[in-house]
A and B are shown apart, each in its own frame.
Chain A
Amino acid sequence: MNFIIGAFKPACHISVAFSDAKSRKQVPLKKENGQTVMVPFFRSQENITGKISVEPILGKKVEHNGIKVELLGQIEMYFDKGNFYDFTSLVRELDVPGEIYERKTFPFEFSTVEMPYETYNGVNVRLRYVLKVTISRGYAGSITEYQDFVVRNYSPTPSINNSIKMEVGIEDCLHIEFEYNKSKYHLKDVILGKIYFLLVRIKIKNMDLEIRRRESTGSGPNTHVETETLAKFELMDGAPVRGESIPIRLFLSPYELTPTYRNINNKFSVKYYLNLVLVDEEDRRYFKQQEITMYRLGETS
């Protein structure tokens, strides 16, 4: 669907305006051409209302077989390019077939739309929400216009949020106990914790905490897994001795994280891990990876 405005002259100009555009929050969205644009963001079960105006090029008229607006939730797998999977599709008819001579405005409304999934731009998969306006024409082909918007869903503070505490080690070589204060973190959270060295027989050079994102797409034999390291945060410099405890304090806000997505529409999952890495003087790495659950906390402000 290679739609570029101005590639060939459209017969008319279509614009979509949300009714609460002025008060609604806008967030950046990365388009497939690499540009970042600001788009409004909605949560599930919100009303999406607005006006669509069609304005023919001066002095021309637009004949059409009807105008409609669709709200689409699409999942796009990059290895399966061009093949969208619409998990949500709502349609509103705006106009019966006829002709438009001058600018005409159509209000539209999608009430309490179920948008269970969040907008997501991954390595191999994209989930997007879009309003699609179609002016159907018999012979000249339809005119379509898209308006992206972002969906983000807040989660309540989890009622159970245990800390992660674990003792790991290599026999007679290294024994550590680490603790992260929670297993579930919201996106602006701070990871607190500590690493306690029970036994150190290797010369450690430094210790990092990594945040890794594991995105798996497809299912069965076609599963693709992509892991990215989003953060590499040095926790410790130098070699500790037995009995030392090293504090952890990692602010998550600087990193571009999303909530954990589990099996979105059977198409993909996004999970987050904390990876504790110890590097010795010979640059050998010792690590332990723990999954954490990310969630989006409702903004209080």
Chain B
Amino acid sequence: MMISNGIEDEEKWLAEGIAGIQHNAFYLHRAVDSNNLREALKYSAQLLSELRTSKLSPHKYYELYMRAFDELRRLEMFFKDEDRHGCSIVDLYELVQHAGNVLPRLYLLCTVGSVYIKSKEAPAKDVLKDLVEMCRAVQNPIRGLFLRSYLAQVSRDKLPDIGSEYEGEGDTVMDAVEFVLQNFTEMNKLWVRMQHQGPVREKEKLEKERSELRDLVGKNLHVLSQIEGVDLEIYRDAVLPRVLEQIVNCKDELAQYYLMDCIIQVFPDEYHLQTLETLLGACPQLQPTVDLKTVLSQLMERLSNYAASSPELLPEFLQVEAFSKLSNAIGKVIEAQVDMPIVGAITLYVSLLSFTLRVHPDRLDYVDQVLGACVKILSGKAKLEDSKATKQVVALLSAPLDKYDDIVTALTLSNYPRVMDHLDAGTNKIMAMVIIRSIMKNKTFVSTSDKVEVLFELIKGLIKDLEGISTDDLDEEDFNEEQNSVACLMHILYNDDPEEMLKIICTVWKHIMAGGPKRLPFTVPPLVFSALKLVRRLQGQDGDVAGEEVPATPRKIFQLLNQIIESLSVVPAPELALRLYLQCAEGANDCDLEPVAYDFFTQAFVLYEEEIADSKAQVTAIHLIIGTLQRMNVFGVENRDTLTHKATGYSAKLLKKPDQCRAVYACSHLFWVDDQDGIKDGERVLLCLKRSLRIANAAQQMANVTRGSSGPVTLFVEILNKYLYYFEKGNPQITASVIQGLIDLIKTEMQSDSATGGPASDAFFTSTLRYIQFQKQKGGAMGEKYEPIKL
């Protein structure tokens, strides 16, 4: 009876027990030293009687047991030496059985039995069989477990194993197996029974104590695995069925879990592979609460490590159909364990998936099968709430991505998106990010519109708002990161075939259209550039073959681009749209499509006029327009005039004088394209520069008026630099004298108000002058040209 009166009492009892053992050990030693067998038996029996206590927890009992154990070793030495006690081993074997109390009797019997086997006066199997049978007399779980563990310990090196000195003469390895199996069975029964001993209120404590004892039981399996003679055949036919039978029949959760795990850990993987069906067959028969997911995961982990250890093993895996057996078993376990939380089931499939990925990386159908099984489990249930389960699903979905460098592989898995559907929106997005990252990492091009379709279906959590989730409460930083990832992704969608590429673009367009105004600014630009890239590729081969229906022509693409950019108006993002229009215009320019290019410019100007209100934005925009326009060579005179006129007009209408000034002198470049056949209208260049000078003057005066001092001369210096540029480029309108005049003007300005120039403009001017000086000194044609200018 296990009555716990607190830890102190237990300590006391343990101390008493130890004292009892020490006391009797003293007399035992004396008896042994004087070769007195009778006394030795008497005191050893008394010593062992201390182990009859029921008052100790397993932990403390173990301590007591170990002390007794040490004494028994000494006694065994004495028993071995027949010369000392003068009693034959056979007689001794009887003699110790005269002890009246069963526990000391059996400890002594095991001790003598061990000597008996060693003496070889009787076949080992007979002695072993007798010992393991006689031990039945101890039915108390703790005492029985320790007694049998003692038996296991002393018999370990005396089993009739192959190659052991105890083998032969009718003693076969089967006898050894039989003995260990029987001891195992009995120990397990005792161990399982432990839970029914003692009051219910201490159940938890009991379970803890029980689990402390588990290794005593498990040791038997370890011993079995160490028997050399247990080959695959014996394991399959004798060991495993018997062990499993005991595990199944004991109907105890703790035992079943522990022992299944034990089997998996102690026996070789090769055996597991060959007996997979038997081993797995036991799983659904276990108690519904047994943590089979851990057990099976361990098994699969081991098997995949085993498979990885040598490529020659693969045929074996195929031969035994490891995958389908595992898959079946998992299905059955999930069916049998009704209360298994969904996370458990998913975990099982994650393990199966990693197994198949490692063992059969070429079998995509397996992967899809696993995913399909998950879909089956998840279906009928709402979105996953359980965070652990979600984690497992993410693991499930990530595994194939990690394995296959080629994302396309995952895209062919029909069940993949179906699994993703069961994730909540947040996780779905995380998963989508994982997918994108995987693609980016491996730089795998997604090359067909079908695949793109699938891919975008997969990452739709990023592409559009999912039901029930508003984008408002999203962290902006996260959102930006996500969308940037999507943008990156677009560059990896690529096909050499323009037609297919166009299809890809259309597919993407279709998807990102659904993204709403928050996403478009992120997703439109990469798409536009992707389309422009396609245009560039086409422009070489584009002959506009008449009559032939070519689906992917630049013209068509530009049409599409127009639509795409237009979509930004809902955002609205006029500045971005403007830039994109300009890019397109350039593209059209390169394709020699004047009307298209013109059209894009028109769009840009419309935006400028109607949408861009901020003055700074205007400045930037106008410079962009000017820059782009400058590079256009497709326009006829008329179109070009219209556009340059517009541009100069807008430049002069900017809000601030300095901005006006700068925009206007920038416009001068519109009339001077430094190409072979670029237009070179020196007059209009000069006009622009003069105009900007006027504006600079005006700005200077305005500064005088408002602040009582002149404004910065920087503008003048900048204009001077423009003059110098055109001067060098050979614009006939720009002469040395004009430059001279400007330099003098600046000098006067600076002298008149030296306080305001500021070091920046001073330095700028100084270095400009130094440049002129340098050019003069350099000589040659340019030196001559500069010669007249005096500094």
Cβ distance B1 to chain A, nearest Cβ, rounded Å: 6
Q: How far is the CA of A231 from the CA of B102 in the complex (A)?
A: 14
Q: How far is the CA of A90 from the CA of B85 in the complex (A)?
A: 48
Q: Which of B105-159 contact A (CB under 8 A)?
A: 105, 133-134, 136-141, 143-144
Q: Using an 8 Å CB-CB cutoff, how does the interface string of B21-52 with A read, 1 for contact, 0 for none?
A: 00000000000000000000000000000001
A113 at the interface (CB under 8 A from B): no
Q: How far is the CA of A281 from the CA of B199 in the complex (A)?
A: 14
- Is the beta-carbon distance between A235 and B137 smaller than 8 angstroms? yes
- Is the beta-carbon distance between A246 and B139 smaller than 8 angstroms? yes
Known A-B contacts A237-B143, A238-B143, A238-B144; A251 and B138 likewise in contact (beta carbons under 8 Å):
no
B684 at the interface (CB under 8 A from A): no
Q: Using an 8 Å CB-CB cutoff, how does the interface string of B375-401 with A read, 1 for contact, 0 for none?
A: 000000000000000000000000000
Q: Using an 8 Å CB-CB cutoff, how does the interface string of B160-193 with A read, 1 for contact, 0 for none?
A: 0000000000000000000000000000010001
- Is the beta-carbon distance between B100 and A239 smaller than 8 angstroms? no
**B138 contacts across to A, CB distance below 8 A:** 236-238
Known A-B contacts A236-B102, A237-B102; A251 and B97 likewise in contact (beta carbons under 8 Å):
yes
A234 at the interface (CB under 8 A from B): yes
B101 at the interface (CB under 8 A from A): yes
Q: How far is the CA of A239 from the CA of B139 in the complex (A)?
A: 6
Q: Which of B467-520 contact A (CB under 8 A)?
A: none
**A-B Cβ contacts below 8 A, count:** 56
Cβ distance A178 to chain B, nearest Cβ, rounded Å: 14
B98 at the interface (CB under 8 A from A): yes
Q: Which of A29-84 contact B (CB under 8 A)?
A: none
Q: How far is the CA of A251 from the CA of B99 in the complex (A)?
A: 10
Q: Which of A191-239 contact B (CB under 8 A)?
A: 205-206, 231-239
Q: How far is the CA of A206 from the CA of B100 in the complex (A)?
A: 13
Cβ distance A251 to chain B, nearest Cβ, rounded Å: 6
**A244 contacts across to B, CB distance below 8 A:** 136, 139
Q: How far is the CA of A42 from the CA of B98 in the complex (A)?
A: 30
B103 at the interface (CB under 8 A from A): yes
A241 at the interface (CB under 8 A from B): yes
Q: How far is the CA of A241 from the CA of B52 in the complex (A)?
A: 20
- Is the beta-carbon distance between B1 and A249 smaller than 8 angstroms? no
Known A-B contacts A251-B94, A281-B1; A237 and B52 likewise in contact (beta carbons under 8 Å):
yes
A200 to B, closest residue via Cβ: B139
A259 at the interface (CB under 8 A from B): no
A245 to B, closest residue via Cβ: B136
- Is the beta-carbon distance between B136 and A246 smaller than 8 angstroms? yes
Q: How far is the CA of A233 from the CA of B97 in the complex (A)?
A: 10
A107 at the interface (CB under 8 A from B): no
- Is the beta-carbon distance between A238 and B139 smaller than 8 angstroms? yes
**A281 contacts across to B, CB distance below 8 A:** 1
Contact of A246 among B137, B140, B141, B193 (CB under 8 A): B137
Contact of B102 among A235, A240, A241 (CB under 8 A): A235
A247 at the interface (CB under 8 A from B): yes
Contact of A237 among B139, B189, B197 (CB under 8 A): B139
Q: How far is the CA of A176 from the CA of B235 in the complex (A)?
A: 36
- Is the beta-carbon distance between A234 and B97 smaller than 8 angstroms? no
How many residues from B make CB contacts under 8 Å with A? Answer: 23
- Is the beta-carbon distance between B100 and A233 smaller than 8 angstroms? yes
**A249 contacts across to B, CB distance below 8 A:** 97, 134
Q: How far is the CA of A244 from the CA of B193 in the complex (A)?
A: 12
Known A-B contacts A232-B100, A254-B98, A281-B1; A238 and B140 likewise in contact (beta carbons under 8 Å):
yes
Q: Using an 8 Å CB-CB cutoff, how does the interface string of B191-209 with A read, 1 for contact, 0 for none?
A: 0010001000000000000
**A232 contacts across to B, CB distance below 8 A:** 100
Q: How far is the CA of A247 from the CA of B139 in the complex (A)?
A: 12
Q: How far is the CA of A231 from the CA of B98 in the complex (A)?
A: 10
Q: How far is the CA of A253 from the CA of B100 in the complex (A)?
A: 13
Q: How far is the CA of A234 from the CA of B105 in the complex (A)?
A: 9
**B139 contacts across to A, CB distance below 8 A:** 236-241, 244, 246
Q: How far is the CA of A247 from the CA of B143 in the complex (A)?
A: 17
Q: How far is the CA of A240 from the CA of B100 in the complex (A)?
A: 19
Q: Using an 8 Å CB-CB cutoff, how does the interface string of A252-276 with B read, 1 for contact, 0 for none?
A: 0110000000000000000000000
Q: How far is the CA of A127 from the CA of B103 in the complex (A)?
A: 40
A190 to B, closest residue via Cβ: B94
Cβ distance A190 to chain B, nearest Cβ, rounded Å: 8
Cβ distance A33 to chain B, nearest Cβ, rounded Å: 27
**A233 contacts across to B, CB distance below 8 A:** 100
- Is the beta-carbon distance between B136 and A251 smaller than 8 angstroms? no
Cβ distance A116 to chain B, nearest Cβ, rounded Å: 33
**B141 contacts across to A, CB distance below 8 A:** 238
- Is the beta-carbon distance between A247 and B136 smaller than 8 angstroms? yes
Q: How far is the CA of A239 from the CA of B140 in the complex (A)?
A: 6
**B197 contacts across to A, CB distance below 8 A:** 239
Q: How far is the CA of A235 from the CA of B1 in the complex (A)?
A: 18
A243 to B, closest residue via Cβ: B189
- Is the beta-carbon distance between A247 and B102 smaller than 8 angstroms? no
**B134 contacts across to A, CB distance below 8 A:** 247, 249
Most buried by A among B138, B139, B143: B139
Cβ distance A156 to chain B, nearest Cβ, rounded Å: 25
Most buried by B among A232, A234, A237, A241: A237
Cβ distance A89 to chain B, nearest Cβ, rounded Å: 42
Q: How far is the CA of A237 from the CA of B101 in the complex (A)?
A: 9
- Is the beta-carbon distance between B136 and A234 smaller than 8 angstroms? no
Q: How far is the CA of A249 from the CA of B93 in the complex (A)?
A: 12
Cβ distance B438 to chain A, nearest Cβ, rounded Å: 57
**A251 contacts across to B, CB distance below 8 A:** 94, 97-98
Q: How far is the CA of A206 from the CA of B193 in the complex (A)?
A: 16
Cβ distance B139 to chain A, nearest Cβ, rounded Å: 4
**A246 contacts across to B, CB distance below 8 A:** 136-137, 139
Known A-B contacts A238-B144, A241-B193, A281-B1; A247 and B98 likewise in contact (beta carbons under 8 Å):
no
**A237 contacts across to B, CB distance below 8 A:** 52, 101-103, 137-140, 143-144
Cβ distance A252 to chain B, nearest Cβ, rounded Å: 10
A248 to B, closest residue via Cβ: B137
**B105 contacts across to A, CB distance below 8 A:** 234
Cβ distance A101 to chain B, nearest Cβ, rounded Å: 53
Q: How far is the CA of A235 from the CA of B101 in the complex (A)?
A: 8
Q: How far is the CA of A251 from the CA of B98 in the complex (A)?
A: 7
**B94 contacts across to A, CB distance below 8 A:** 251
- Is the beta-carbon distance between B98 and A236 smaller than 8 angstroms? no
Contact of B133 among A205, A234, A240, A247 (CB under 8 A): A247
Q: How far is the CA of A247 from the CA of B105 in the complex (A)?
A: 13
Q: How far is the CA of A235 from the CA of B141 in the complex (A)?
A: 16
**B189 contacts across to A, CB distance below 8 A:** 241
Q: How far is the CA of A112 from the CA of B134 in the complex (A)?
A: 48
- Is the beta-carbon distance between A234 and B98 smaller than 8 angstroms? no
Known A-B contacts A247-B133, A249-B97; A234 and B102 likewise in contact (beta carbons under 8 Å):
yes
Cβ distance A202 to chain B, nearest Cβ, rounded Å: 13
Q: How far is the CA of A246 from the CA of B134 in the complex (A)?
A: 8
Cβ distance B91 to chain A, nearest Cβ, rounded Å: 11
Cβ distance B106 to chain A, nearest Cβ, rounded Å: 9
A232 to B, closest residue via Cβ: B100
Q: How far is the CA of A237 from the CA of B97 in the complex (A)?
A: 15
Cβ distance A248 to chain B, nearest Cβ, rounded Å: 9
Cβ distance A188 to chain B, nearest Cβ, rounded Å: 11
Q: Which of A1-48 contact B (CB under 8 A)?
A: none
**A231 contacts across to B, CB distance below 8 A:** 100
Q: How far is the CA of A247 from the CA of B141 in the complex (A)?
A: 17
The list of the 6 closest CB pairs from A to B, nearest first, reads A238-B140, A238-B139, A234-B102, A240-B139, A254-B98, A237-B138
Provide 18 A-B residue pairs closer than 8 Å at the C-beta atoms, listed in order of the A residue.
Answer: A234-B102, A236-B138, A237-B102, A237-B103, A237-B137, A237-B140, A237-B143, A237-B144, A238-B140, A238-B141, A238-B143, A239-B140, A241-B139, A245-B136, A246-B139, A247-B133, A249-B134, A251-B94
Contacts beyond the supplied A238-B138, A238-B144, A251-B98: 12 A-B pairs with Cβ under 8 Å:
A236-B137, A237-B137, A237-B140, A238-B140, A238-B141, A240-B139, A241-B193, A244-B136, A244-B139, A245-B136, A247-B136, A247-B137
Measuring CB to CB, which residues of chain A are less than 8 angstroms from any residue of chain B?
205-206, 231-241, 244-247, 249, 251, 253-254, 281
